[in-house]
A and B are shown apart, each in its own frame.
Chain A
Amino acid sequence: MMNRSLSLKVLSAVILFGAWEIAGHIPVSFAFPTFMESMGALMRMMGDGTMLDAYAETLKPLAVGIAISAVLGIAIGVWVGLSRFFDWLFSPIFIVMQAAPLAALIPLLILAYGIGLTSKVLVVCIMAMPVIVLNTAGAVRNTPDSIKEMGRSYLATDLDIILKIIIPAASPVIFAGLRLGISAGFIGAILAELKITPTGVGDIITYSRSIADYPSMYAAIFSIILLAVLFLNLLERVEAALFKGNQRGYASD
């Protein structure tokens, strides 16, 4: 099983990169380098420390933003899911946040919070948090009554019911929200570096494009996607380790 899914992953990577290599050779555009050229640029930038410096910058708003979005997002989501009042209070904010065109909000953020870390963290949060909150709230609200009732009949306190029943029951959907939110957070982090001030990975992209060093530009884009994929895989492992039995549907199905 494990081996098969691993080899499938390798196979799909080989096909993707192969297609990239061929497309680079045709070439589809003079601005589209081959896979090998891009990997070369990636190796070079990793060797000379450019990448390291860039990620030291980019990871700051990304890590802070994602941590805030995950912790606060799940907490607010649980609250919103449990209480009609908090639903009324918070849900509209996150629905608007999710629907709002972020590019249009960035000038406002800069006006209010300047061009520093705060604005970038906020961009990551605006991208990541709504889906985490809304997914968590929906899942909490849909916890099967029968297991909550079971908890009460076996003398669970309200806190027991939240921690030992509602959150584990909601966890598959919470994790789905986290995956979506974190991917969006990665987009937000790069967007912030392209639209607010060019730093980190966003700087590599902007600068190498301006000097027509396309392999470096694609290497930077590739590296951020790779990081996102690795992180999401890690998240999947965490989920599998925490809630084993949730893997295959519900007992009462």
Chain B
Amino acid sequence: MPQTSAAETGTDATEDTAFEIAVSTRNISKNFGDVEALNDLSLEFPLGQLTSLLGPSGCGKTTLLKIIAGLLEPTSGEVEVNGQKVTGPGPDRAFVFQDFALLPWASVIRNVAFGLELRGVARSEREAVAESYIKQVGLAGFENAYPHELSGGMRQRVGLARALAVDAEVLLMDEPFSAVDEQTRRKFQEDLLGLVQDQKKTFIFVTHSIEEAVYVSDQVAILLPRPSRVSEIIRPSSFRGKGVDNIRRDPEYLDIVDEIWTSLRRYVE
């Protein structure tokens, strides 16, 4: 058994110290009865960057994300967001759900404004905010539609707009693009890169897809299967500045995808 700690891949170990850390998880363990989902997992998420959690199904990615969100309590260990210990959900974090989690009886605008509604923001004010984010995610004109009238991709945009509308510093995204078709997904990935650039927010992004992780991330954390811990942290560096159209052809991009696949394939058998 290879007892991996944060391993030496690329250039990370030296670079880590250079970033301001927005979220850090320390020695997180989580048991569900007999099932050990996470074991002594420590990971840091740099401010203003996008970190992907990549790993095989059932390895505890969602569990980790929910612990950071304050929706689940870790069995041991702790999470800090901006230096503050997490004890529950807070205004500094917003969640984008894999299954959208929209309110079917509420219109798009009410769904997007829901986080603000719960915070007691006055109706006209929150609808104005919601409207601008609806526009930003490309759903202008659908304010009064109901979720069942939208496609899967449009529903996820509503989920994204809802998370953006509360203006949290940290966005937690659980496989947000897994339920949409390949073309929409590529468009979302490009949009996400844009968001990371101009939103000064910290993104924590769970995905199954190696290509997606490498494409959108400043940092990819690879998790081992249960009980889960971080096996490697990879920081794609050279192709980030080359424009969204060239990334998929970049040799470093292809190398990293390959490298991750090599290290993960033994767990798939």
Min C-beta distance of A3 to chain B, whole Å = 22
Please, what's the 1-or-0 string for A230-253, where 1 marks a CB less than 8 Å from any CB in chain B?
Answer: 000000000000011110111111
Quick check: is B201 within 8 A (CB to CB) of the other chain?
no
Q: Which of B101-109, B190-198, B213-221 contacts A (4 or more CB under 8 A)?
A: B101-109
Quick check: is B234 within 8 A (CB to CB) of the other chain?
no
Q: Inside 8 A of A102's CB, which chain B residues have their CB?
A: none
Min C-beta distance of B174 to chain A, whole Å = 10
Min C-beta distance of A241 to chain B, whole Å = 12
Quick check: is A151 within 8 A (CB to CB) of the other chain?
yes
Quick check: is A107 within 8 A (CB to CB) of the other chain?
no
Q: Which of A33-41, A88-96, A152-160, A204-212 contacts B (4 or more CB under 8 A)?
A: A152-160
Asked if A245 and B101 sit within 8 Å, CB to CB, the answer is no
Instruction: Tally chain A residues at the interface, Cβ within 8 Å.
Output: 26
Asked if A152 and B105 sit within 8 Å, CB to CB, the answer is no
Asked if A154 and B166 sit within 8 Å, CB to CB, the answer is yes
Quick check: is A150 within 8 A (CB to CB) of the other chain?
yes
CB < 8 Å: which of A150, A245, A252, A253 contacts B105? A245
Min C-beta distance of A240 to chain B, whole Å = 11
Instruction: Kindly state the separation between the CA atoms of A252 and B69 in the bound complex, as whole angstroms.
Output: 22
Min C-beta distance of B60 to chain A, whole Å = 17
Q: Inside 8 A of B93's CB, which chain A residues have their CB?
A: 153
Quick check: is A165 within 8 A (CB to CB) of the other chain?
yes
Asked if B119 and A153 sit within 8 Å, CB to CB, the answer is no
Asked if A168 and B89 sit within 8 Å, CB to CB, the answer is no
Asked if B89 and A155 sit within 8 Å, CB to CB, the answer is yes
Quick check: is A12 within 8 A (CB to CB) of the other chain?
no
Given A147-B103, A245-B106, answer yes or no on A154-B114 (Cβ-Cβ < 8 Å).
yes
Asked if B104 and A150 sit within 8 Å, CB to CB, the answer is no
Overall SS of chain A's interface: helix
CB < 8 Å: which of A149, A151, A152, A249 contacts B104? A249
Instruction: Kindly state the separation between the CA atoms of A249 and B166 in the bound complex, as whole angstroms.
Output: 28
Please, what's the 1-or-0 string for A24-37, where 1 marks a CB less than 8 Å from any CB in chain B?
Answer: 00000000000000
Instruction: Kindly state the separation between the CA atoms of A249 and B114 in the bound complex, as whole angstroms.
Output: 20
Q: Inside 8 A of B150's CB, which chain A residues have their CB?
A: 251
Interface-centre pick from B71, B100, B104, B155 (highest chain A CB count, 10 A): B104
Asked if A244 and B146 sit within 8 Å, CB to CB, the answer is yes
Given A150-B97, A252-B99, answer yes or no on A155-B115 (Cβ-Cβ < 8 Å).
yes
Instruction: Kindly state the separation between the CA atoms of A251 and B69 in the bound complex, as whole angstroms.
Output: 23
Instruction: Kindly state the separation between the CA atoms of A130 and B146 in the bound complex, as whole angstroms.
Output: 33
Interface-centre pick from A151, A155, A253 (highest chain B CB count, 10 A): A155
Asked if A249 and B69 sit within 8 Å, CB to CB, the answer is no
Min C-beta distance of A80 to chain B, whole Å = 22
Instruction: Kindly state the separation between the CA atoms of A151 and B106 in the bound complex, as whole angstroms.
Output: 14
Asked if A252 and B100 sit within 8 Å, CB to CB, the answer is yes
Interface-centre pick from B94, B106, B162 (highest chain A CB count, 10 A): B106
Please, what's the 1-or-0 string for B75-94, where 1 marks a CB less than 8 Å from any CB in chain A?
Answer: 00000000000000111011
Quick check: is B147 within 8 A (CB to CB) of the other chain?
yes
Instruction: Kindly state the separation between the CA atoms of A253 and B148 in the bound complex, as whole angstroms.
Output: 9
Minimal Cβ-Cβ distance residue in A for B165? A154
CB < 8 Å: which of B102, B115, B162 contacts A251? B102
Q: Interface of B with A (CB < 8 Å)? A: 66, 69-71, 89-91, 93-95, 97, 99-107, 114-115, 117-119, 146-148, 150, 155, 162, 166
| Given A153-B93, A250-B148, A251-B103, 17 further pairs, Cβ under 8 A | A151-B118, A153-B70, A153-B71, A153-B95, A154-B118, A154-B162, A155-B89, A164-B117, A168-B105, A169-B104, A243-B105, A244-B105, A245-B106, A246-B105, A248-B146, A251-B102, A251-B104
